[in-house]
Structure 1
Amino acid sequence: MNVREFADAQWTRATGAGVDPHEYRRVTGCLASVADWGPSCVRTGHACLQRAEAAGSAVSAGEHLLMAARWFHLATLAPYAEAHRAAAAADHALGRALTALEPGARRVSGEGFTGWLRGPSDAPGTVVVVPGLDSAKEEFLGPASALLARGLAVFVMDGPGQGVLAATTTLASDYERVVGRVVDALGVARVGLVGLSLGGYYAARTAALEPRVAVAATVSGPFRLDWAELPPPVRDIMARRAGGADAARDFARHVDLAGLAPRITAPLLVVDGGRDVIPGVTNGEALARLAPRGTYLSVPHGDHLLGDARPDWLPRLADHMAHSLTGTPAGAASPE
């Protein structure tokens, strides 16, 4: 894949994550090869840090820091020798941003996870947002904002092999154990789960095995993976995150929800994009059909992670979580 094809493939993912589309075009439009991707994104992240230092208010500084976190994370999406440094820079920028914008935000870390707990201390419900194969907590600030706007507390995390932990840990097929430790650390009786991309598998698996999950939603999550059919770029990413090709192949073999879906008793919303077609990846229709309280939402024009179709699914997902956790009638107006 040449750099233009790569940049086009990441377009809706980046803009869906909150990157300014015009800046994205400026930054990626002059790249000579995919090898330039990481360094260019890192330079843009540092430019955002400089804007933050020159900002006239804490709010403006915080907003620039959030954008820096997004750009540093984007640097990790292509093969890049300094990806671990970019992930650490994204993590640091997000921490500085939340310190400036949300003094009540709290860093919570434990075995195999780290993240930020945001929202009111007396929130009626708490949602854990789970990233995917090469995503991280910095990518899903939009879904977090939608949940926060509905009065919920939100913990956006990195788990094994994800985000800032990718340099020191590998992917875990038993992600329900990680979420269990998260729930313990948060000190709540129950949680909602939102899982995106591979995080959708993690969320569904955890909803089947962790009784403290009261509601769940998946976005572009796989029902099953077939290693032999996965495109080489996906296999390469999985090998890097799993600790080698053999470990990745074994990990992919475990991604199969056929036996677990009937055990998901919590309300489950499954969101897919109709244009999200990856060889070797089975979409979530079967998950929604087999789960006792599953609902399927397919957005025909949506691609992977549906960054090109957020109005078609994000408000509904946020309302689904809020209604299930707080008992708010489904038709009641939610704050925006």
Structure 2
Amino acid sequence: MFGTDYGRLRRVVGRISDWREWCEVWTAEGDELFRKAEKALTEGSRGIARALFHEAVACYHAGQHIFFIDSRQKESTQAKARESYAQAICLYNEAEKPVRVDIPYRGVSIPGYLRRADTEGRPLIIFVNGMDNIKEAEGHHFGSVFNRQGFNFFTFDGPGQGEMWSSLKFDARNYHTAVSAVIDWFEQQPASGIDLGRIGLVGFSLGGYLAPEAAARDPRVKCTAGNSGLVYIGGIQGLKQLNPIWQRGVTYMTGCATLEEALPQFNYDIEDAPVLRSPLLFFHAGRDEVMPEPKTHADKMMNWAKGDATLKYNEDAEHCTMNYLDEVFPEILDWFEMHLRK
């Protein structure tokens, strides 16, 4: 999901004997790739340099992802991922280059990247991040998948996520307004060849809740695909039942010291949102290690959605159906083609 080469993943993990070394070792791998990319660039090998810069992004993200035990390391390494990504996209031709966008929102900016389809009049897919995703890693990888299928694709860091974490922390009660602000921005731009009458949302992990919830509140979204959404919390007891790593994620994302302090910003229930009337494709995983009783989340989502709702529940799948993405992605792409057809 990060774009990491499997062989490199095995080599790096093999060098790590303790979780506390995780970020440091992956960062060193990213640094080495970044140096190789710079060398390739000085030698005129732009294609090699671009690939290595992207691989460095994947390593930096793998290192900082859910490394909540040391925020200093996490933030420093994530900044390196952004720097390497900026270097990589400078090496695209203009037609393929991800375009940086900064959208005004509540006195700060929502940072994102737009991947344009090669044909005018195609739909727009907006990717809603999970708890600790970043637009330069999963957002780029997913964008490539959707872009190859001919979709316009926009990925962004929302409040409490990635680059935006430093300027605005997460609050589940308001996140949908950030998604609507993104759509507002697109509507305010000069004619661009993007069909804004056909907008779809896709979200994985926490985004699997945030995307359908935002779609329910904004009728401009025509359909949504969600994967492994944590669709309700259940108060402080619910937070304490989360995997301990993700409990740290809750406090980090909200900028709070304790779960009790974070509760107002991270206590929600999909059934408290307006019902979803537009089509929904929802994946969930029986072996999800992030949340307790994943089937109850899947059932609750299906009970809430009142439009054309399809549940794909795989008892053998892990969080975000990561061990079945070779089947899941084609299904999502075909589903969007069908539901965003003119």
Flag the structure with more relative contact order, 1 or 2, with Cα contacts below 8 A and sequence separation at least 6: 1
Q: Which residue of 2 aligns with 1:116?
A: 113
Q: Which residue of 1 aligns with 2:81?
A: 90
Q: Measure how far apart 1:280 and its partner are.
A: 6.9
Q: Which residue of 2 aligns with 1:330?
A: none
User: 1:157 and 1:103 mapped to 2: Cα distance?
Assistant: 20
- Comparing 263-272 with 103-112, which one deviates more in the overlay? 103-112
Letter in 2 for 1:279: P
Q: Which residue of 1 aligns with 2:56?
A: 68
Q: Which residue of 1 aligns with 2:190?
A: none
User: 1:273 and 1:143 mapped to 2: Cα distance?
Assistant: 19
Q: Measure how far apart 1:309 and its partner are.
A: 0.9
Question: TM-score scaled by structure 1?
Answer: 0.85
Q: Measure how far apart 1:190 and its partner are.
A: 4.8
Contact 1:269–1:295 (Cα < 8 Å) also in 2: yes
Match of 2:32 among 40, 47, 57: 47
Match of 1:257 among 270, 282, 299: 270
Q: Which residue of 2 aligns with 1:222?
A: 230
User: 1:88 and 1:123 mapped to 2: Cα distance?
Assistant: 35
Q: How does 1:1-336 map to 2 (within 5 A)?
A: 16-55=1-40, 57-77=45-65, 78=67, 79-80=69-70, 81-104=72-95, 105-110=98-103, 111=105, 112-120=109-117, 122-137=120-135, 138-173=137-172, 174-187=174-187, 188-225=196-233, 226-244=238-256, 245=258, 246-254=260-268, 256-260=269-273, 263-277=275-289, 278-279=291-292, 282-291=296-305, 292-327=307-342
Contact 2:240–2:247 (Cα < 8 Å) also in 1: no
Q: CA RMSD in A?
A: 2.0
Percent identity between the aligned chains? 26
User: 1:103 and 1:218 mapped to 2: Cα distance?
Assistant: 31
Q: Deviations over 1:86-136 (max 9, x none)?
A: 222212222322231252421111225211000237251111111111111
Q: Measure how far apart 1:232 and its partner are.
A: 2.4
Letter in 1 for 2:317: G
User: 1:275 and 1:184 mapped to 2: Cα distance?
Assistant: 38
Question: TM-score scaled by structure 2?
Answer: 0.84
Q: Secondary structure at the match of 2:20?
A: helix
Q: Which residue of 1 aligns with 2:191?
A: none
Q: Secondary structure at the match of 1:35?
A: helix
Letter in 1 for 2:114: L
Q: Measure how far apart 1:189 and its partner are.
A: 4.6
Contact 1:289–1:295 (Cα < 8 Å) also in 2: no
User: Structure 1: 5+ residue runs without aligned partners?
Assistant: 1-15, 328-336
Letter in 2 for 1:115: G
Letter in 1 for 2:181: R
Contact 1:223–1:283 (Cα < 8 Å) also in 2: yes
Letter in 2 for 1:298: Y
User: 1:206 and 1:286 mapped to 2: Cα distance?
Assistant: 17
Contact 1:199–1:221 (Cα < 8 Å) also in 2: yes
Contact 2:270–2:304 (Cα < 8 Å) also in 1: no
User: Structure 2: 5+ residue runs without aligned partners?
Assistant: 188-195
User: 1:248 and 1:98 mapped to 2: Cα distance?
Assistant: 36
Structure 1 residues 95 and 247, CA gap change in structure 2 (3 angstroms) = farther
Q: Secondary structure at the match of 1:203?
A: helix
Question: Alignment length, in residue pairs?
Answer: 310
Q: Measure how far apart 1:155 and its partner are.
A: 0.5
